[in-house]
């Protein structure tokens, strides 16, 4: 591309650069018959590898390709040198001269072994920007369900597409995290299949990023969280949906999901990496041989597994299930405080609530002056004193910052939106 722009497509140097590029493609095709490149956020990716360092050097090209609606390029081994040359000419053709979509233009040029276009994403399907976060959440859930189905059916997984979706959620959390996090509250009351794992993934991405982990590690943790409970598909649905207390035998079957999940994901190490296997196996491990699976020797889990484990406990306690109602935030907080001493990284529980607060965004609450409100904003470090919008009585609506308020107002309790809080849901 650089040579074509510098010397023109008729120059001999351009022809030589095409020869070199074609030779390198041929060498690569000997190892893999199809080569998939993409742009994840602002990073260049090949297959499952996001090339962060290389992306810095190729930033102008990344911006250039995205401006031409190209986020993905697939090259197939029957590719001819003439096709590669036509493709490069197409890339340097002024955008205003192209009247059709990129892939349509390639077809007109007779290029059959190179495909370009968007990476399938939640953004693409719902037209993000004009659409609210709930549609993004639901569309992402649909995408992840398909990926999980592929794993369960031993089909190939499109890691680049998966990475793009997780990166999309990461960007949303970075820019609008308060809005997106409230969805983990709203959807906990929904019985959509796999909603729990998406909640845990969203929470894990946000938690890991706020802990200061590098972007690439945050994305890996987000992907691992999507698969942490996949072993439950090997547990009888009767047991999973049982409303009564589980027998010892049934509980042992449930605990087996950690091993089942790791076994399933071992088949996908080349595609997904090692962390999903570790997270599936380790997210219920605790110190002093507590937790499960039972180990013959002490095993400290990967930090990513521990982060996912805390988010898993939090969402499981908060969620409405067939066998229980949702627990109030103060109860969830109390249980996690007791649990933290059993964890290999007990400090993670304190860090979690410093970031999330005790009362999640979207929680209906009763204030100490008996007014009803909804939590709108968290202040890191002040876990009991968020920003609350009063919604009832109607003549006393206002936005309050409970942090340091002079009236001494505080949250007395939360309201379940499906029970005592139901009359106030329409006011939010």
Average pLDDT over residues 55-82: 88
Instruction: Work out the percent of the chain whose per-residue pLDDT is above 70.
Output: 82
User: Could you give phi then psi for residue 271, rounded to 5 degrees?
Assistant: -95, -50
Is 60 exceeded by the pLDDT of residue 130?
Answer: no
Strand-pair partners of 51: 44
CB distance 173 to 206 below 8 Å: yes
Q: Greater confidence, 41 or 227? A: 227
Assigned token pair, 167: 């990166």
Q: Residue 308's Cα: distance from chain center in Å?
A: 12
pLDDT class of 310 with cuts at 50, 70, 90: very high
Token pair recorded at residue 382:
């002040």
- How does strand 43-46 pair with strand 372-377? unpaired
| Whether the model pTM is above 0.85 | no
Locus of tokens 């986020």: 71
Phi, psi of 103 (to 5 degrees): -65, -35
Copy the structure tokens of residue 399. Answer: 């936005």
Can you tell me the mean pLDDT for 133-145? 58
Q: What's the pLDDT band for 147 if we cut at 50, 70, 90?
A: confident
More confident residue, 227 or 122: 227
DSSP letter, residue 202: H
Q: Is the peptide bond before 293 cis (omega within 30 degrees of 0)?
A: yes
Q: Please tell me which residue, 15 or 298, carries the higher pLDDT value.
A: 15
pLDDT tens-digit map of 215-243: 788 888 988 998 898 888 777 767 766 66
Tell me what pLDDT residue 131 has: 40
pLDDT on residue 320: 62
**Helix, coil or strand: residue 18:** helix
- State pLDDT tens for residues 164-216: 667 666 655 655 555 555 545 544 433 444 678 888 988 998 899 899 998 78
From 230-239, 252-261, 383-392, the region with the lowest mean pLDDT? 230-239
Q: Which of 117-121, 214-218, 304-308 has the highest mean pLDDT?
A: 304-308
Q: How far apart are CA 289 and CA 337, in angstroms?
A: 19
Please state, rounded to an integer, the average pLDDT across all residues of the chain: 82
Residue 160 has pLDDT above 70, yes or no: no
At 188 the pLDDT is 42
- Say what the pLDDT of residue 158 is: 73
d(CA 179, CA 117): 30
Q: CB–CB of 47/36 below 8 Å?
A: yes
Cα distance between residue 45 and residue 43, in whole Å: 6
Of 257 and 127, the one with more pLDDT:
257
Query: Measured in whole angstroms, how far is the alpha carbon of residue 20 from the centre of its chain?
Result: 39
Judged against a pLDDT cut of 70, whether residue 244 lies above it is answered with yes
Q: What percent of the chain clears pLDDT 90, i.e. is strictly above it?
A: 36
Mutual angle of helices 133-152 and 257-266, in 10-degree steps: 80
Confidence of residue 26 (pLDDT cuts 50, 70, 90): very high
* Structural domain 131-356, CATH architecture: Orthogonal Bundle (1.10)
pLDDT value of residue 381: 74
Adjacent-strand bridge partners of 72: 38, 117
Q: Where are the alpha helices (DSSP H) in 48-186?
A: 52-57, 59-67, 81-92, 102-108, 122-126, 133-152, 159-186
pLDDT at position 127, please?
37
pLDDT by residue (tens digit) across 324-351?
567 899 999 999 999 998 999 999 999 9
More reliable by pLDDT, 381 or 329 = 329
Domain ranges of the chain: 2-119, 131-356, 364-425
């Amino acid at each position: 591309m650089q040579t074509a722009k510098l010397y023109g497509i008729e120059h001999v140097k351009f022809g030589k650069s095409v020869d070199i590029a074609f030779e390198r493609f041929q060498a690569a095709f000997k190892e893999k018959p199809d080569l998939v490149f993409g742009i994840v956020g602002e990073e260049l990716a090949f297959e499952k590898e996001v090339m962060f360092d290389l992306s810095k050097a190729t930033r102008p090209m990344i911006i250039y390709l995205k401006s031409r609606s190209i986020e993905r390029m697939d090259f197939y081994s029957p590719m001819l040198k003439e096709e590669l040359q036509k493709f490069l000419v197409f890339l340097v053709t002024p955008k205003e001269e192209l009247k059709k979509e990129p892939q349509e233009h390639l077809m007109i040029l007779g290029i059959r072994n190179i495909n370009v276009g968007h990476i399938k994403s939640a953004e693409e399907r719902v037209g993000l920007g004009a659409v609210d976060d709930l549609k993004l959440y639901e569309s992402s859930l649909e995408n992840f369900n398909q990926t999980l189905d592929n794993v369960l059916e031993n089909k190939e997984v499109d890691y680049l597409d998966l990475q793009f979706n997780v990166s999309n959620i990461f960007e949303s959390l970075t820019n609008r995290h308060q809005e997106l996090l409230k969805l983990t509250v709203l959807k906990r009351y929904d019985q959509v299949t796999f909603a729990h794992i998406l909640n845990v993934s969203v929470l894990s991405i946000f938690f890991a990023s706020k802990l200061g982990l590098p972007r690439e590690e945050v994305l890996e943790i987000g992907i691992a969280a999507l698969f942490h409970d996949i072993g439950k598909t090997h547990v009888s649905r009767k047991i999973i949906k049982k409303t009564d207390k589980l027998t010892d035998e049934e509980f042992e079957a449930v605990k087996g999901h950690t091993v089942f999940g790791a076994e399933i994901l071992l088949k996908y190490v080349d595609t997904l990496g090692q962390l999903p296997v570790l997270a599936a196996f380790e997210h219920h491990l605790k110190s002093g041989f507590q937790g499960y699976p039972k180990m013959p020797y002490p095993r400290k889990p990967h930090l990513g597994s521990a982060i996912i484990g805390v988010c898993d406990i939090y969402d499981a306690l908060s969620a409405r299930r067939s066998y229980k109602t949702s627990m109030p935030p103060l109860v969830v907080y109390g249980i996690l405080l007791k649990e933290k001493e059993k964890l290999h990284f007990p400090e993670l529980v304190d860090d979690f609530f410093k970031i999330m607060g005790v009362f999640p965004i979207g929680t209906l609450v009763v204030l100490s002056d008996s007014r009803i409100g909804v939590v709108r904003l968290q202040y890191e470090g002040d876990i009991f004193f968020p920003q609350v919008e009063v919604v009832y009585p109607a003549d006393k609506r206002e936005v309050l910052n409970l942090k340091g308020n002079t009236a001494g107002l505080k949250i007395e309790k939360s309201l379940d939106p499906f029970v005592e809080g139901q009359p106030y849901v329409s006011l939010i």
